């Protein structure tokens, strides 16, 4: 039976279902409206305002950063680091609402073809250069040019033209009507870097922007030691004088072994664990020195499959594999109940989510479908996964369950960066464990990168090479729809087709489970990313 738990929160508060872990003050500097009640176990208490001067905060991540370039990083783990250094024109606050950051305001025209921003003045990058409309244009023109090889190039593919109206006004024009433009521009990858830094890359294509991040955030890059840490330090000239960095520095340490992260937190060697092993959450929640947060996420855990391979071309095989997995058992045994079985390709928190008929566990049905498709004895498969504790555990559980219906699986675990490179290359892919988060919190980015025919590898996220003209049409019609109800109807239809076609084994929506030491306050979690802009130590 699936268990649902909410662990104790004392110096933090859970605001709404978009996943917040904040202190008594808002990270956005304003008091946004709360759209729903806090869970019954989420208590609030006054937080002393005295901060420890010159304090350093240490955060344990589940893996090494892949890139410190927001245009070249696609994993959620790295976003914890990037969010301290980079900012965009827009972001989402603790309620998941879009709010201006480097822009003061924005206007989307009536037919959803142009988006105009008025920019904030007096902003400096970490290298002392000025932020203005010309910088925005240079950034957007560079990242969306596929010849520059940025991993996020396709994300900005909706842009037809970027026009400088005046030094602090800019207009983004879409190729076609695009109702998701605002959400796309609020995504963390729509962050801006110094024109001086960008010019270095233009002048020398071998220059490594992955290792030289220069943004406008409250913290600036200090050092990256492979396998040890990434360090950021307070930026004294941060533009928002009302919300300066309250820490001298933050160290982000990759700690792949889950039990090690827990032990380091208990011993005080780290202050925050961004991916807390679920089995330890209840125990840690009883520790007087620690706080634990759990809540629903935007993520989807799934098994992708290379639909170009003969064994996966028949959808009955793909459906059989969905019936073969007992999702409730997987959630209970591997995630300790911190998750919800998938009934859509999207998390319920994503705007446009529509519940579908899920694949309930039925081993006999799975065997029947395999036999009808010509595989009465099953077949052999290779399952790629990240080499973190949690992902290997998921893979081993999937292996065991597929074995029961005759599918013999070999698990191969790789460092996360290596795995992403393999999937992006699109060579040798069979089965793979994926975790996809709709960072825009809306349906287009939740489905298009994974299921659109024009997003197959190399260098795109549709690593299963899934192609379906009906899905393509529905996604495109939804994106062009300026009527919200029509857009949501199209997204719902697309989810229905995808669930029936089963290009993934739809597993579960994991909960966010994060722990911190009690003397660390004002930590935010927005769209599954830990936000440390306002954090400090007592």
When mean pLDDT is compared across 23-37, 149-163, 352-366, 493-507, the lowest value belongs to 23-37
**Under DSSP, is residue 431 helix (H, G, I), strand (E, B) or coil?**
strand
In the predicted model, is pLDDT for residue 81 greater than 70? yes
Average pLDDT of the residues in 315-329: 98
Q: What is the pLDDT of residues 223-260, one digit of tens each?
A: 999 999 999 999 999 999 999 999 999 999 999 888 89
pLDDT computed for residue 150 by the predictor: 93
pLDDT, the chain, mean: 89
pLDDT computed for residue 38 by the predictor: 32
Q: Residue 208's Cα: distance from chain center in Å?
A: 24
In the predicted model, is pLDDT for residue 322 greater than 70? yes
DSSP-assigned states of every residue in 395-435:
HHHHHHHHHTTT-EEEEEEE-HHHHHHHHHHTSS--EEEEE
Q: Can you list the domains of the chain with their CATH numbers?
A: 50-85+217-289+518-537 (3.40.190.10), 86-204 (3.90.76.10), 299-511 (3.10.105.10)
Q: Determine the Cα–Cα distance for residues 212 and 101; give it in Å rounded to an integer.
A: 23
pLDDT computed for residue 319 by the predictor: 98
pLDDT computed for residue 278 by the predictor: 81
Q: Interior CA angle at 265 toward 259 and 269, to 5°? A: 115
Average pLDDT of the residues in 149-160: 92
Average pLDDT of the residues in 513-518: 94
Average pLDDT of the residues in 395-403: 98
When mean pLDDT is compared across 25-29, 83-87, 478-482, the lowest value belongs to 25-29
Average pLDDT of the residues in 147-156: 92
Contact 399, 411 (CB under 8 A): yes
pLDDT computed for residue 208 by the predictor: 95
In the predicted model, is pLDDT for residue 149 greater than 70? yes
Q: How many CA atoms lie within 13 A of 522 on its CB side?
A: 23
Q: Determine the Cα–Cα distance for residues 158 and 475; give it in Å rounded to an integer.
A: 13
pLDDT computed for residue 258 by the predictor: 86
When mean pLDDT is compared across 2-16, 356-370, 457-471, the lowest value belongs to 2-16
Structure tokens at 423: 């999937």
Contact 445, 183 (CB under 8 A): yes
pLDDT computed for residue 525 by the predictor: 87
pLDDT computed for residue 50 by the predictor: 59
Q: Determine the Cα–Cα distance for residues 221 and 65; give it in Å rounded to an integer.
A: 13
Pairing state between β 56-61 and 249-254: parallel
Q: What is the reported pTM?
A: 0.80
pLDDT computed for residue 354 by the predictor: 98
In the predicted model, is pLDDT for residue 42 greater than 80? no
When mean pLDDT is compared across 130-144, 279-293, 451-465, the lowest value belongs to 279-293
**265 membership: H or E segment, kind and range:** helix 258-267
Percent of the chain whose predicted confidence (pLDDT) is above 90: 78
- Burial class (CB within 10 angstroms; exposed 0-12, middle 13-18, buried 19+) of 39: middle
Percent of the chain whose predicted confidence (pLDDT) is above 70: 90
Q: How many CA atoms lie within 13 A of 143 on its CB side?
A: 26
**231 membership: H or E segment, kind and range:** strand 229-234
Which letter, b or e, does each residue of 116-153 get, where b requires 16 or more Cβ atoms within 10 Å of its Cβ? bbbbbeebebbeebebbbebbbbbbebbbeeeeebbbb
pLDDT computed for residue 2 by the predictor: 33
Average pLDDT of the residues in 184-206: 96
pLDDT bin (cut points 50, 70, 90) of residue 53 is low
């Amino acid at each position: 039976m699936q268990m649902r738990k909410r662990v104790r929160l004392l110096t933090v508060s859970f605001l709404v279902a978009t996943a917040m872990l904040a202190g008594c003050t808002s990270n956005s500097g304003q008091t946004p409206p709360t759209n729903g009640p806090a869970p019954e176990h989420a208590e609030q208490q006054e937080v002393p305002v005295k901060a420890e001067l010159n304090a350093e905060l240490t955060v344990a991540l589940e893996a090494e950063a892949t890139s410190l370039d927001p245009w070249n990083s696609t994993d959620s783990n790295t976003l914890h680091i990037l969010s301290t250094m980079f900012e965009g024109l827009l972001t989402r606050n603790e309620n998941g609402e879009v709010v201006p950051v480097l822009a003061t305001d924005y206007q989307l025209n009536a037919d959803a073809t142009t988006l105009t921003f008025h920019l904030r003045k007096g902003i400096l990058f970490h290298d002392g250069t000025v932020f203005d409309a010309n910088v925005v244009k240079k950034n957007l023109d560079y990242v969306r040019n596929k010849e520059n090889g940025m991993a996020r190039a396709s994300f900005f593919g909706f842009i037809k033209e970027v026009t400088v109206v005046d030094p602090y006004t800019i207009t983004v024009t879409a190729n076609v009507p695009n109702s998701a433009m605002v959400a796309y521009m609020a995504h963390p990858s729509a962050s801006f870097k110094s024109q001086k830094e960008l010019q270095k890359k233009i002048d020398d294509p071998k220059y490594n922007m992955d290792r030289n991040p220069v943004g406008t955030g409250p913290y600036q890059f200090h050092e990256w030691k492979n396998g040890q840490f990434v360090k950021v330090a307070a930026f004294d000239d941060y533009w928002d004088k009302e919300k300066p960095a309250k820490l001298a520095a933050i160290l982000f340490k990759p700690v792949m072994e889950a039990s090690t992260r827990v032990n380091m937190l208990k011993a005080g060697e780290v202050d925050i664990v961004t991916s807390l092993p679920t089995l330890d959450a209840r125990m840690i929640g009883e520790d007087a020195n620690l706080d634990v947060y759990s809540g629903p996420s935007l993520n989807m855990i799934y098994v992708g499959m290379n639909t170009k391979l003969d064994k996966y071309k028949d959808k009955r095989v793909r459906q059989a594999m969905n019936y073969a997995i007992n999702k409730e058992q997987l959630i209970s045994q591997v995630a300790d109940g911190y998750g919800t079985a998938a009934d859509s390709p999207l998390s319920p928190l994503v705007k446009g989510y529509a519940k579908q008929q899920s694949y309930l566990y039925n081993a006999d049905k799975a065997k029947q479908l395999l036999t009808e498709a010509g595989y009465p004895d099953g077949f052999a498969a290779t399952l790629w996964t990240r080499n973190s504790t949690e992902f290997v555990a998921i893979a081993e559980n999937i292996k065991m369950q597929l074995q029961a219906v005759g599918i013999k699986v070999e698990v191969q675990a790789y460092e996360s960066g290596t795995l992403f490179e393999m999937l992006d290359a699109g060579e040798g892919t069979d089965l793979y464990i994926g975790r996809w988060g709709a960072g825009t919190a809306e349906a287009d980015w939740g489905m298009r990168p994974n299921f659109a025919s024009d997003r197959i590898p190399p260098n795109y996220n549709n690593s299963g090479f899934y192609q379906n003209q009906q899905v393509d049409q529905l996604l495109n019609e939804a994106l062009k729809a300026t009527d919200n109800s029509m857009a949501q109807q199209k997204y719902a239809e697309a989810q229905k087709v995808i669930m029936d076609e089963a290009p993934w084994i739809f597993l579960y929506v994991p909960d966010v489970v994060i722990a911190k030491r009690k003397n660390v306050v004002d930590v935010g979690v927005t769209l599954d990313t830990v936000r440390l802009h306002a954090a400090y130590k007592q």
